[in-house]
Chain A
Amino acid sequence: MTAETERDSMDFDVVIVGAGASGLAAACRLMQQANSAERELSVCVVEKGSEVGAHILSGAVFETRALDELFPDWKARGAPLTTPATRDELYLLKDADKAQKLPNALVPRAMHNTGGDQTRYVTSAGNLCRWLGEQAEALGVDIFPGFAAQDIIEDEQGAVRGIITGDMGVDADGEPKDGYMPGMELRARYTLFAEGSHGHLGKRLIQRFALDEGRDPQHYGLGLKELWDIPADKHEPGLILHGSGWPLDKHAHGGWFLYHGEDNQVMVGLIMDLSYQNPWLSPFDEFQRMKHHPVLAKHLEGGKRVAYGARSITKGGFNCLPKMTFPGGLLIGCDAGTLNFAKIKGLHTAMKSGMVAAETVFDALANESEGGEELSAFTEKWEQSWAYAELKESASFGPALHKYGTLVGGAYNFVDQLLGGGKLPNLHDTTPDHAALKPAAECEKIEYPRPDGKLSFDKLSSVYLSNTNHEENQPCHLKLSDPAIPIRDNLPKYAEPAVRYCPAGVYEVVEDDDGQPQFRINFQNCVHCKTCDIKDPAQNITWVTPEGGGGPNYPNM
């Protein structure tokens, strides 16, 4: 799509964008097949994070089904799955002090993490990806961390033919600095887009190829997560808590999690539906005050927070899942939206989508495909997979919550899931998240309590723990289609919600010398969560890739 710059070019059979669960599973599966067929295959993975895992953030309780298929001997290979889920608790928080613990029998089937025929593991998705990256490299995959896919290469027939990596060494005005290095063309017969939730190229592909035609608008959550060291006597490896209710109300949905992992660590987080209506709401501050509830606080008190991060979650599920094929490539994992929100799990389905993609692409290449074709065989294969069946079963889970609220919706889900899944009529939610906001004047302003510095913290010290960094002298990677909108439209109508929905303090409204409001973007703070690109009521903010290697450096997230 950009052609002005003279660029070097390299050719691969397959280029994969993003070293996450789906991209790496695809890379491994491709190479496994090539190796067993004794066929030369060049597979390259580009990753915008400074290393594999640097940008990965997830709960996570992990189901091994896809991994069992990919590496049946994953235990022997040292996969970082060492903490089996041992106990499930589900709470409905009534108010700041009270909570109701749901009896196990009333917990929706999908939300069970213990029992049944399989073991789930409390793990760090980042570490899982680090391990998958090692497996992929050992199989012969070339992984390039620190290189962001900035653009898509399309041929004259409109087929995708690879990607262009981002330019390095460009100053804030777009001029080359010393050491300027133009991005490269990475040409491929097939390109797999696995950028995770709301990827910037995935978003373009969905528009370009109308992949979402006939689907409900996609829905997102914002996941905020912290990692805590807690006293050893409070630690119960494998204990899993989920809950909802306070401090969110009936117009703002979300759920929290608190998992006991290994090494006396606890991961705690809030998934805030981005369909919330009140522009005064701040997901970050909801999360901070939520931790003061006794049900959560009792696990955290006496502990120390060691990491913080945030990432959007593509949670629309079955009804919103776009077509995943287009000429020359596939959209996989959360970039498409394969997460099973009923289970609050997406790693296993993302991996499965990557593996199905790998099998389809390999078949095509084995049949001497020159690339650039639309691999319709994928759709067929995918729709026969257990992952697809799982998504179909929980199709109404999210819409029920949106439509009926957490309590009644939860009951609907309970009955629906108890009946065996997907027996009640399929529900749809057709309001996109960015259109859900009501004018600020019609909503109650929310006064959040000051953080106490023990259980709750300010945004600054939180962003600090994400280890995020961007070279300062580079173009801002948060593009405003119309720079006037934030102050002219959003501020009077919605009190510029970016200031509050951004979990990293990127956006500020400040006064200039004449006391006039100004919109400021501190892009250096950005943790690449994509919430602004999703929630801005004017859809005026476009997230693009900053210089490769920038962004958070999450350890163990």
Chain B
Amino acid sequence: MSILVLADHQDGELDGVTAHVVAAAQAIGGDIELLVAGDNVDAVAEAAAKLDGVSKVRVADSRVFAHQLAEPLSELLAMLADDYSHVLAAASTNGKNALPRVAALKDVAQISDIIAVESADTFKRPIYAGNAIATVQSSDALKIITVRATGFEPVAEGGSASIEVVEQSIDNSISAFVKESLAESDRPELGAARAVVSGGRGMGSADNFKLLDGIADKLGAAIGASRAAVDSGFVPNDMQVGQTGKIVAPDLYVAVGISGAIQHLAGMKDAKVIVAINKDEDAPIFQVADYGLVADLFEAVPELEQKL
């Protein structure tokens, strides 16, 4: 078996998720090669060659692959795929954009967001927003898979794979890049964030809510609030975590100074990992928290920010 892993990269740097995807490839087993497609990606290829377990890095360096547009990228992958039993990419917006297209071009199914490898053709993946875990088995000769990074420990660096140029002459006349705005301070939307830091009435004031900015920045988290904090006027209504329905459960939920009123708990119960920081050790939030820290938030929060 041989596996091709699509490398994720941005601004000339290899994205950390790729090391997780290589780990998933190792779990499947077989020879692992990496594809770096982009414009001016020498540095990315070199970084990719250092990932443990990678035997070869294939590089398609061309203007047409700038910004990873799905149309040329999927054409490239479809062209290369015949040499492999598996094609893997991170379940990033890039991987999710391109891989289904590759699968359709090869007339095979695509398997999204795997979190575990059972065997070379059998995988586990969350469905229903993580409320169930499906085990699926592919009978296609070629398996095209996106990998949820948190499901796999990243491989270390220390390898020295060979780097090889891919000959291709792909062009693209149907889609064009216009612009990109990647704002660093722009926090993810509450409903879709992978991590959420939420403050409650214990925050004491609107000003104190700023304390949460630091940990939210470090976690790439959205900031939320309990109903009590909203009712107390600390933050606007749209920050409220509760039964808003369309909430997508985050991987990490940090509840700061939240006692845990019923409808708040209902709104965040589906979070994968819940952390509660509260000085009242009887607060109901501790009953649902995976990690509870009984502490004064005004001391614990700055310390946490510093140690993250």
Q: In the assembled complex, how far is the CB of residue B240 from the closest CB belonging to chain A, in whole angstroms? A: 7
One of A70-78, A186-194, A418-426, A457-465 at the interface: A457-465
Contacts A473-B237, A513-B232 given; does A460 touch B243 at CB 8 Å: no
Q: In the assembled complex, how far is the CB of residue B250 from the closest CB belonging to chain A, in whole angstroms? A: 18
The CA of A513 and the CA of B237, in the complex, are separated in Å by 19
Among candidates B228, B232, B266, residue contacting A460 with C-beta atoms closer than 8 Å: B266
B residues within 8 A CB of A505? 262-263
User: Using an 8 Å CB-CB cutoff, how does the interface string of B142-168 with A read, 1 for contact, 0 for none?
Assistant: 000000000000000000000000000
Interface size on A, residues (CB 8 A): 19
Among candidates B228, B243, B265, B269, residue contacting A472 with C-beta atoms closer than 8 Å: B243
Interface flag for A469 (CB, 8 Å): yes
Contacts A464-B269, A472-B244 given; does A522 touch B232 at CB 8 Å: no
Contacts A464-B269, A513-B232 given; does A469 touch B263 at CB 8 Å: no
Interface flag for A470 (CB, 8 Å): yes
Closest A residue to B269 using CB positions? A464
Q: Which residue, of B227, B232, B262, B265, has the highest number of chain A Cβ atoms within 10 A? A: B262
User: Using an 8 Å CB-CB cutoff, how does the interface string of A518-530 with B read, 1 for contact, 0 for none?
Assistant: 0010101100000
Contacts A464-B269, A513-B232 given; does A472 touch B240 at CB 8 Å: yes
The CA of A464 and the CA of B269, in the complex, are separated in Å by 10
- CB of B266 within 8 A of CB of A464, answer yes
Q: Which residue, of B232, B266, B269, has the highest number of chain A Cβ atoms within 10 A? A: B266
Closest B residue to A525 using CB positions? B263
The CA of A463 and the CA of B263, in the complex, are separated in Å by 9
The CA of A522 and the CA of B262, in the complex, are separated in Å by 8
Among candidates A172, A459, A508, A524, residue contacting B243 with C-beta atoms closer than 8 Å: A524
The CA of A470 and the CA of B245, in the complex, are separated in Å by 8
Interface flag for B38 (CB, 8 Å): no
B residues within 8 A CB of A513? 232
- CB of A463 within 8 A of CB of B262, answer yes
- CB of A469 within 8 A of CB of B262, answer no
User: Using an 8 Å CB-CB cutoff, how does the interface string of A494-519 with B read, 1 for contact, 0 for none?
Assistant: 00000000000100101001000000
The CA of A473 and the CA of B240, in the complex, are separated in Å by 11
User: Using an 8 Å CB-CB cutoff, how does the interface string of B217-248 with A read, 1 for contact, 0 for none?
Assistant: 00000000001100010000100101111000
Closest A residue to B245 using CB positions? A469
Interface flag for B176 (CB, 8 Å): no
Contacts A469-B243, A469-B245 given; does A522 touch B269 at CB 8 Å: no
B residues within 8 A CB of A459? 262
A residues within 8 A CB of B245? 469, 471
Contacts A472-B242, A513-B232 given; does A460 touch B237 at CB 8 Å: no
The CA of A510 and the CA of B263, in the complex, are separated in Å by 14
The CA of A469 and the CA of B267, in the complex, are separated in Å by 11
Among candidates A463, A471, A522, residue contacting B261 with C-beta atoms closer than 8 Å: A522
Q: In the assembled complex, how far is the CB of residue B235 from the closest CB belonging to chain A, in whole angstroms? A: 14
B residues within 8 A CB of A522? 227, 261-263
B residues within 8 A CB of A524? 242-243, 263
Q: In the assembled complex, how far is the CB of residue B285 from the closest CB belonging to chain A, in whole angstroms? A: 11
The CA of A237 and the CA of B265, in the complex, are separated in Å by 36
- CB of B243 within 8 A of CB of A470, answer yes
The CA of A206 and the CA of B98, in the complex, are separated in Å by 63
The CA of A453 and the CA of B227, in the complex, are separated in Å by 26
Chain A contacts with B in 469-487, Cβ cutoff 8 A: 469-473
B residues within 8 A CB of A520? 261
- CB of B265 within 8 A of CB of A460, answer yes
B residues within 8 A CB of A471? 245
Q: In the assembled complex, how far is the CB of residue B190 from the closest CB belonging to chain A, in whole angstroms? A: 13
Could you write out 26 A-B pairs with CB less than 8 Å apart?
A459-B262, A460-B262, A460-B265, A463-B262, A463-B266, A464-B266, A464-B269, A468-B243, A470-B243, A471-B245, A472-B240, A472-B242, A505-B263, A508-B262, A510-B228, A510-B261, A513-B232, A520-B261, A522-B262, A522-B263, A524-B242, A524-B263, A525-B243, A525-B262, A525-B263, A525-B266
- Given contact pairs A472-B242, A520-B261, a sample of 7 additional A-B residue pairs in the complex whose CB atoms are under 8 Å apart: A460-B262, A463-B262, A470-B243, A472-B240, A505-B262, A510-B228, A522-B227
